[in-house]
Amino acid sequence: MVWVRVSSLHRPVLRNFCHYKALSRSFSATISKHRGVVVGVYEEGEGIQLSQAGETINKQCGGQLQRQLKQAGRKLKAGKTRVLFGLDEAGFSSVAVVGVGKKGVGYNEQEQVEEGRERVRKAVANGVRQLSEVGEVNVDVDPCGDAEAAAEGALLSLFSYDELKAKDSRKPRVHTSCFTDHIQGDSTTTKESWQRGVTLAEGQNLARYLMEAPSNYMTPSIFARLAQDKLGQSQQCTVTVRNKAWAEEHKMESFLSVAKGSVEQPLFLEIDYQGGAPGDTPIALVGKGITFDSGGISLKPGADMDKMRADMGGAACVMGALLATSRLRLPVNIKGLIPLCENMPSSRALKPGDVVRAMNGKTIQVDNTDAEGRLILADALCYAETFNPSLILDLATLTGAVAVALGSGATAVYTNSTSMWDVIHKAGTRTGDRVWRMPLFKHYTNQVTHCDLADLNNIGKYSREGGSCTAAAFLKEFVTNKRWLHLDIAGVMMNKDEVPYLGKGMAGRPTRTLVEFLNTLSRQKLD
Ligand code: BES
Ligand code: ZN
Ligand code: ZN
């Protein structure tokens, strides 16, 4: 065996050379050793304590790991990382030591999150990213006592949308796996837990992918094809694509009025997931699928309009959640309903003051064509009702106002069911992708039922005041189910750096919370 020690300084040069076949052959021993490992350390008193995985690796390299950490001095705070080299005897060309804080940290009431799990996500994400930066293409990850959270941190942090860039400026793909050498006996439970985390993260990454894609690469028809490709593979999933004529037959004038302004044809996806018994009442998931929101005739300002490619975030989360749900084989039946179209200005477009009739017969005066999400959801919610589902949950990048209220701290949840609120709130504390309850007072309903020409106005009487609440009140007029949850996800649509394991870009939130919510419900009977 040839051992070649590679310092961090030399590594990028070596990496570039690897593109040449001849050289990569002569250096094959080095290249196959592009394997790093992420190791957790706990804070203990004034010092640090290696995790069990760390102890094992420390033994494998004759105590070098401990020695290097001692030399570096100081303690490693939660979230901090130190990358070490020269521990080749353990079989790794680099080791990222990550601080996961104190052992056994549980629920944090102030933060409304299971903090131990969240720290693992953050620490692992940090470690994996740093190893990727020094050129590792294979990374083993210490489960840090929570393999599911470790896998989430690893996979979510490695996501990037760069398929439209030249090959050599794309980030190299990094493969991560769960380090289990330290587990004596059966490691199945840890591996299963890791796999569950991988599945959840991949669901969220699918949502991120769909949201990040530019609108000319994610039209309604491309979205529909992707749904068939991604979900059609599962035996338990059936994807039905409905066209404009179908929507006309179903009297979805509100949905179709938004689509009118664009040459892109509207589509309506109906996705059936049969994980439960054939006769079990389904849960309906409805996602806003505006593949581009220009505002229509009530045109948006130019700044940041590109972000409106992600106005199908609700639809994307439904897709991500269904992908994860089917891979986890959750014992539940789901009906995914996704209205897809563009909101564009043109001579055929809907105009301010126009009146349209929704599927349930209610008329709507459209005073602002930029409040289009509620128009397509109105019909989708009416259609959801026809299946008599046990509950209806909709997700939508619905209002800028929710970003003013909550920023990206939590998804806003409006619900008529406190027991469902309890379930989704708990789910958010587990996943770290939190939710916060908002009101459905008559106070807000009065502001949308006050209307000159129709039953409802699509904007509140006091313009932007309580904008997210009036939007929810509007949607409420199309729901009769006793369990309804509306999630306004506009505030959590994008990540700058608030959630460190997500990086910059479209966030795919709250896909994992939704799966966790479905997971809980799949184990309880709703009357
Ligand atoms: N898609 C937007 C909401 C949005 C804004 C999502 C920012 C993500 C980031 C929605 O269709 C919209 O334009 N809503 C209007 C409603 C208003 C006209 C009552 C808004 O929030 O300004
Ligand atoms: Zn809009
Ligand atoms: Zn919109």
Whole-number percent of the chain with pLDDT over 70: 94
Place of tokens 């581009």: 292
Give the confidence band of 106 by pLDDT, cuts at 50, 70, 90: very high
Domain 213-351+383-448+466-522 matching CATH 3.40.630.10: the answer reads yes
Q: How far, in Å, is the centroid of ligand 2 from the Cα of 58?
A: 56
Considering every ligand atom, which ligand is closest to the CA of 288?
3
The residues, any chain, with a CB within 8 Å of residue 199's CB and separated by 6 or more, are 324, 327, 328
CATH 3.40.220.10 range(s) for the chain read 21-202
Q: Sign of dihedral through CA atoms 346, 211, 471, 415?
A: positive
Q: Which atom of ligand 1 is nearest to the CA of 493?
A: 8
| Residue among 300, 305, 370, 492 whose CB has most ligand 1 atoms within 8 A, to mutate | 370
| Ligand 3: centre distance to CA 431 (Å) | 26
Query: Would you call 97 helix, strand, or coil by DSSP?
Result: strand
Banded model confidence at residue 48, pLDDT cuts 50, 70, 90 = confident
Distance between Cα 75 and ligand 3 center (Å): 47
Which residues does the annotation mark as catalytic?
300, 374
Q: What is the pLDDT at residue 33?
A: 64
* Distance separating alpha carbons of residues 126 and 83, to the nearest angstrom: 11
Looking at 3.40.470.10, 3.30.70.20, 3.40.220.10, 3.90.226.10, the CATH number of the domain 21-202 comes to 3.40.220.10
Three-class SS state of 502: coil
Report the residue among 312, 398, 411 best suited for mutation to probe ligand 1: largest number of ligand atoms under 8 A from its CB: 398
Distance CA 83, CA 99 (A): 12
Residue 89 CA neighbour count, 13 Å, CB half: 10
The rounded mean pLDDT for the chain is 92
- The closest alpha carbon to 88, from 133, 48, 34, belongs to 34
- Indicate whether 30 pLDDT > 80: no
Residue 79 is predicted with a pLDDT of 83
Domain with CATH 3.40.630.10 in the chain: 213-351+383-448+466-522
Question: Once rounded to an integer, what is the mean pLDDT over residues 80-107?
Answer: 92
Please tell me the number of the ligand nearest to residue 370's CA. Answer: 2
Atom of ligand 1 nearest to the CA of 298: 18
3-state helix, strand, coil in the chain (%, to 5): 40, 20, 40
The H or E element that residue 102 is part of is: none
- Please classify residue 24 by burial: count the beta carbons closer than 10 Å to its beta carbon, then call 0-12 exposed, 13-18 middle and 19+ buried: middle
399 CA closest ligand 1 atom index: 21
Strand partners of residue 436: 412
Cα 243 to ligand 1 centre (Å): 26
The pLDDT tens digits for 143-200 are: 999 999 999 999 999 999 999 999 999 988 999 999 999 999 999 999 999 999 999 9
If you write DSSP's letter for every residue of 337-364 in order, what string do you get? EEEEEEE--STTS--TTEEEE-TTS-EE
Q: What gap in Å lies between CA 191 and CA 180, rounded to an integer?
A: 8
Measured from CB, residues less than 6 Å from any atom of ligand 1 are: 293, 311, 368, 370-373, 397-401, 459, 467, 490, 493
**What is the Å distance from ligand 2's center to 400 Cα?**
9
DSSP code string of 187-250: -HHHHHHHHHHHHHHHHHHHHHHHHHS-TTTS-HHHHHHHHHHHHTTSTTEEEEEE-HHHHHHT
Residue 395: what residue type? L
Q: Could you give the CA distance from residue 222 to residue 215 in angstroms, rounded to a whole number?
A: 10
User: What is the three-class DSSP state of 28?
Assistant: helix
Using the predicted structure, report yes or no on whether residue 124 has a pLDDT greater than 70.
yes
